[in-house]
Structure 1
Amino acid sequence: MRAESSAINGTSVAVEHDPQGGREVDPGRSAERRSLGGAAQAGLGVVAFSLTFPATAWGLEGFGPWSLVAVRGVLAAVLAGGCLLVLRIPVPSRRHWGGLAVVACGVVVGFPLLTTLALQTSTTAHAAVVVGLLPLTTALFSALRVGSRPSRSFWVAACAGAAAVIAFTVGQSSGALTGADAYLFGALVVCAAGYTEGGRLARVMPGWQVIGWALVLCLPVSLPGAWLALTYEPVVPGWHGVVGLLWLAVGSQFLGLVVWYRGMAAVGIPRASQLQLAQPLLTLVWSVLLLGERLTWAAPVTALAVLVCIAVTQRART
């Protein structure tokens, strides 16, 4: 494309010309479209992730916690590896493998394992506290890792949104702290690290390749782990357990992360992470529909507060 200046209504506007079609393209409008597309993809990732805890609860009806995590990792790795093989994607350069290992440890192994162990004794509402804190933690990791410096209004809105979500989810679980909290807070830290590193890598390679290679990297561990877990843990594969397992492997572990990393690469890690403020509320909605849990009157009030915070963080300059 070739850029030049054009006068429109007395105002100088930079435009780009497509050398093939000869059309003029406003670079500002093009950047806005890319930003909206990135936000939409990150939003789809949030929807996929919001089903993770209910799907895990279903999966635990038919599988043990170690079996559920290991088998979902194997299935997702087979899917991702097949895509990489069919499309003949070259192996990433050596300098990217350290970052891929962080993604693998945080997103492929750490978060699924710790949250699954927590959900043996915790409700999905209580576990959603982790997701409520995740956007703020991811933004902190981003500031430390990639040098992003969000504005003060961004941080105020992010903290307000996180506080609203925490108050709501703790209220849903009657303010009780359980032995699963150590698992949940550990999952929060490792997932934020994996999201940050994955978002950084998605700037130099497609997002689906980031999670794809991370899954393949875990296969030498997840495959024997699945065999051992299935040997020692009882398996009662009812339809709830099977559907939960398949969603965790295909939706949460692969497709959700594909669009999530693409969205983060387009709009930036801090802004994309704030879309997750809506995730605990979506999780609670799915919990009502799929698990029969009840919501209180506080849900719409918190939802409105979260939506306001998201709007502020999306407008705040980085």
Structure 2
Amino acid sequence: MGSSASASLSSSSAPSAATLHRSLWLGALGVLMFAMTLPMTRLAVGPADAPQLPPLFVTAGRAAGAGLLAAVYLLLTRAARPQQRHLRDLLVTALGSVVGFPLFLGLALRQVPSMHAAVVTGILPLATAAMAALMLRQRAPLGFWLCASAGCALVLVFAAWEGHGQLVLADGWLLLAVLSASVAYVSGARLSAGWQAEQVISWVLVLSLPVTLPVAALSWPTHAVSAAAWGGFAYVTVFSMWVGFFAWYRALAMGGTLRVSQVQLLQPFLALLLAVPVLGEALSPHTLGFALAVLAVVMLGKRMPVAAKKAGAA
């Protein structure tokens, strides 16, 4: 990133009210597209007793397909090529968003329903905020962290309620998916501060093609796969792996990672609601109550002032 990007990360000035408003709406759009990832991935991989696409193929195949779309986009827009200073963040983003998150999610969704995954991955906003504080050296008042903690506590209580206090191997996969995504979100946001968000995720996908294309070919399913599974795969390829990041990275860059990441507290509840028409999973009444409570915490948390530390501190 150039000097302007560095300044945008280190400046102590907060975004304007209009910029923050736009960033929150963009973040909400990205979250909505990402919320569909869980039920669509469940469709793609299928349950353990009726497996569909292999998790490894879904991981590599969706990245390869999106990478080919991204290559066309970069050629048509004549995007500038990444420079050496971009490579570290591009690599970290690729490892988190192209490999880690989809692979761990696919492994988990072979074992647990989409709704279970939705509540466990609800801690992603807190993980993203923690990674932002560490990697971007941002700071926030105690009230902000209290709101973030309260929102995540609500999510964890909901997860415990739905899971009857039981943890399975899939929960470990889901926690690894959360860690992978949080690191990728922050490194991608750092790139987006001085680079168009569309180009960030596109270059991440294109630079991953030498790995994702061969792995997708080698892991191609050898058994019959339902049309619904291929439909789920198509969705995660186009929207979860590519288009969703257009909105998400731009939102993080405009409004600040710490603040905008809290919108993602709504993602598990959106995923729960979407799992009803997509997968036919039953929606329990208390889900709406938890969703409203989390929404209240998000609205309160976004009013807390957030700033980056001064450049000298870096």
TM-score normalised by the chain length of structure 2? 0.89
Query: Could you tell me which residue of structure 2 aligns to residue 268 of structure 1?
Result: 256
Ranked by relative contact order (alpha carbons within 8 Å, sequence separation 6 or more), the top structure is: 2
| Partner deviation per Cα, 1:112-133 (whole Å, 9 max, x = no partner) | 0011011110111221234211
Q: What's the CA shift for 1:67?
A: 1.3
Mapped pair 1:175 → 2:165: yes
Distance in 2 (CA, whole Å) between partners of 1:170 and 1:65 is 26
Distance in 1 (CA, whole Å) between partners of 2:166 and 2:112 is 10
Question: Where does 1:134-213 land on structure 2 (aligned, <5 Å)?
Answer: 134-213=124-203
CA contact (8 A) 1:57 1:119 kept: yes
Deviation >3 Å, runs of 4+:
none
Match of 1:47 among 14, 19, 32: 32
Distance in 1 (CA, whole Å) between partners of 2:91 and 2:295 is 34
CA contact (8 A) 1:64 1:234 kept: no
Distance in 2 (CA, whole Å) between partners of 1:296 and 1:58 is 21
Match of 2:301 among 286, 303, 313: 313
Query: Could you tell me which residue of structure 1 aligns to residue 279 of structure 2?
Result: 291
CA contact (8 A) 1:168 1:298 kept: no
Q: What's the CA shift for 1:189?
A: 1.0
Question: Where does 1:109-124 land on structure 2 (aligned, <5 Å)?
Answer: 109-124=99-114
Instruction: Answer with 1 or 2: which has the greater Rg.
Output: 1
Query: Could you tell me which residue of structure 2 aligns to residue 106 of structure 1?
Result: 96
Distance in 1 (CA, whole Å) between partners of 2:280 and 2:162 is 14
CA contact (8 A) 2:120 2:159 kept: no
Question: Where does 1:71-110 land on structure 2 (aligned, <5 Å)?
Answer: 71-110=61-100
Match of 1:258 among 246, 262, 284: 246
Distance in 1 (CA, whole Å) between partners of 2:143 and 2:97 is 29
Q: What's the CA shift for 1:169?
A: 2.6
In structure 1, list runs of 5 or more residues that go unmatched. Answer: 1-29
Residues 235 and 253 from structure 1, CA distance in 2 versus in 1: closer, same or farther, beyond 3 angstroms?
farther
Query: Could you tell me which residue of structure 2 aligns to residue 227 of structure 1?
Result: 217
SS of 1:63's equivalent in the other structure is: coil
| Partner deviation per Cα, 1:82-124 (whole Å, 9 max, x = no partner) | 1001111010111011101000000111100011011110111
The one-letter code sitting in structure 1 at the alignment partner of 2:33 is A
Identity of aligned residues (%): 37
Mapped pair 1:214 → 2:204: yes
What is the root-mean-square deviation in Å for CA atoms of aligned residues?
1.5
In structure 2, list runs of 5 or more residues that go unmatched. Answer: 1-14, 47-51, 307-314
Distance in 1 (CA, whole Å) between partners of 2:160 and 2:277 is 20
Q: What's the CA shift for 1:235?
A: 4.0
Distance in 1 (CA, whole Å) between partners of 2:101 and 2:136 is 22
SS of 1:180's equivalent in the other structure is: helix
TM-score normalised by the chain length of structure 1? 0.88
CA contact (8 A) 1:63 1:234 kept: no
The one-letter code sitting in structure 1 at the alignment partner of 2:146 is V
Residues 286 and 300 from structure 1, CA distance in 2 versus in 1: closer, same or farther, beyond 3 angstroms?
same
Query: Could you tell me which residue of structure 2 aligns to residue 70 of structure 1?
Result: 60
Distance in 2 (CA, whole Å) between partners of 1:235 and 1:56 is 18
Query: Could you tell me which residue of structure 1 aligns to residue 4 of structure 2?
Result: none
